[in-house]
């Protein structure tokens, strides 16, 4: 058995041997000067997979999201997002700091902001008291709602509203391909309902670094400039684009395994004393567990699981997260399930 079963995040995935070989032999140029062929191939592939015109390779999902916010807004604007979204909670205040916009967070139980609530939150731009609402952000899958997939009909309704109000939609699709497997809806169908999409290569897809920002050619041209402002213009970056291409070619199809392992885990621990978890709400590769007495605190559970070789992330006094990915398999899930049982049932 391995020393550690690491369920902290799908960001802990290590590059495959083939990715490492690709890094060593990558043909490179200077991507800021626009002549790195490996980056160009990656960007063309990402755009094609999402059925949009163009794509930009960025160092992180956070930078991809923040570039999108910057491109779509002007300082003083307001953006609508979900109250537990990554852009709101975990990007260090980027929308305010980088783009000078304020946020209008909408609280939900599952990540899908009710259409009526979004409509009601759009400001009257003819009123000089009001900021201009210039962007709606959605997150699919939704990390802090336990990897929930946003229903396609919901996204269609939101799109209708966005077109009517002429407010663009940015999709934080860090784990978009996990949603694709869970729902059977293609990445192209999801992308067609947004104006810009960010997805991560460095999570379940196993590439060491990087995310893609995808959209119209005009959007990407503006995004390229903002990336430069943020210091994200990189030179011989074909070295990390090469494993990213392998991620797109070889790792997308296996993500259903991660979704299945998360479901297996949820079924294994739901019903244990102090565990609040409905396995039906585990759509993809994230299992969020709420703890109530007699379960210990999240911090204590984290420690006791770690003593048994299993890593997780406590996300609050009574909330703990487990994420499945290519570097944990059924045996790791079994180990976690039995460690959980030992801790909770003594
Ligand atoms: C939903 C979501 N969006 C964006 C990000 C940011 O990605 P990165 O860690 O590459 O900045 C994450 C990271 O966990 C995420 O879960």
Residue 33: pLDDT band by 50, 70, 90 thresholds?
Answer: very high
Spelled out in words, what is the top-level CATH class assigned to the domain 17-251? alpha beta
Domains of the chain, by residue range, sit at 17-251, 254-345
Tokens of 54: 């163009």
Question: Which atom number of ligand 1 is nearest to the Cα of residue 202?
Answer: 10
| Contact by Cβ (8 Å): 340, 322 | no
The pTM of the whole model exceeds 0.85: yes
Q: Which of 83, 87, 90 to probe ligand 1 with, by most ligand atoms within 8 A of CB?
A: 90
Q: Tell me which residue of 17, 20, 22, 5 sits closest to 327, measured CA to CA.
A: 5
Span 298-316, pLDDT tens digits: 999 999 999 999 999 999 9
**3-class DSSP assignment, residue 279:** helix
Span 263-303, pLDDT tens digits: 999 999 999 999 999 999 999 999 999 999 999 999 999 99
Check pLDDT > 80 for residue 251: yes
Q: Tell me which residue of 23, 182, 150, 151 sits closest to 85, measured CA to CA.
A: 150
| Contact by Cβ (8 Å): 37, 238 | yes
| Contact by Cβ (8 Å): 238, 26 | yes
Please state, in angstroms and rounded to a whole number, the distance separating the CA atoms of residues 131 and 36: 41
pLDDT at residue 213, as a whole number? 99
The answer as to CATH 2.60.120.470 being correct for domain 254-345 is: no
β partners of residue 199: 212
Q: How crowded is the C-beta side of 164, counted as CA atoms within 13 Å?
A: 10
Tokens of 308: 């048994």
- Does the beta carbon of 67 lie inside 6 Å of ligand 1? no
**3-class DSSP assignment, residue 42:** helix
- Does the beta carbon of 202 lie inside 6 Å of ligand 1? yes
Q: Which of 143, 147, 176 to probe ligand 1 with, by most ligand atoms within 8 A of CB?
A: 143
Tell me, yes or no, if the two domains 17-251 and 254-345 fold the same way. no
Residue 1: pLDDT band by 50, 70, 90 thresholds?
Answer: confident
């Amino acid at each position: 058995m391995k020393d550690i079963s690491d369920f902290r995040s799908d960001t802990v995935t290590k590059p495959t041997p083939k990715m490492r070989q690709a890094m060593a032999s990558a043909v490179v140029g200077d991507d800021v000067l626009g002549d790195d062929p490996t980056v160009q191939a990656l960007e063309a592939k990402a755009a094609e997979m999402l059925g949009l015109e163009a794509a930009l390779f960025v160092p992180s999902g956070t930078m991809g999201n923040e570039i999108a916010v910057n491109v779509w807004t002007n300082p003083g604007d307001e953006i609508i997002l979900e109250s537990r979204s990554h852009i709101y909670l975990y990007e260090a205040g980027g929308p305010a700091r980088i783009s000078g916009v304020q946020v209008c967070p909408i609280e939900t139980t599952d990540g899908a902001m009710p259409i009526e609530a979004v409509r009601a939150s759009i400001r009257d731009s003819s009123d000089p008291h009001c900021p201009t609402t210039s962007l709606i952000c959605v997150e699919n899958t939704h990390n802090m709602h336990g990897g929930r997939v946003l229903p396609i009909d919901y996204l269609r309704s939101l799109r209708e509203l966005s077109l009517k109000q002429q407010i663009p939609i940015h999709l934080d699709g860090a784990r978009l391909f996990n949603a694709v497997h869970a729902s059977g809806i293609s990445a192209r169908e999801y992308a067609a309902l947004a104006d810009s999409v960010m997805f991560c290569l460095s999570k379940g897809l196993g590439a060491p670094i990087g995310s893609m920002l995808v959209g119209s050619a005009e959007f990407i041209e503006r995004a390229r400039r903002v990336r430069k402002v943020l210091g994200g213009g990189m030179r011989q970056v074909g070295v990390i684009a090469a494993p990213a291409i392998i991620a797109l070619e070889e790792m997308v199809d296996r993500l259903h395994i991660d979704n299945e392992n998360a479901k297996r885990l949820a079924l294994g621990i739901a019903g244990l004393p102090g565990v609040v978890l409905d396995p039906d709400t585990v759509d993809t590769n994230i299992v969020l567990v709420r703890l109530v007495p007699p379960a210990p605190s999240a911090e204590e559970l984290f420690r006791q699981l770690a003593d048994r070789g299993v890593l997780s992330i406590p996300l609050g006094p009574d909330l703990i997260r487990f994420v499945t990915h290519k570097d944990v398999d059924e045996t790791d899930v079994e180990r976690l399930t039995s460690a959980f049982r030992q801790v909770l049932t003594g």
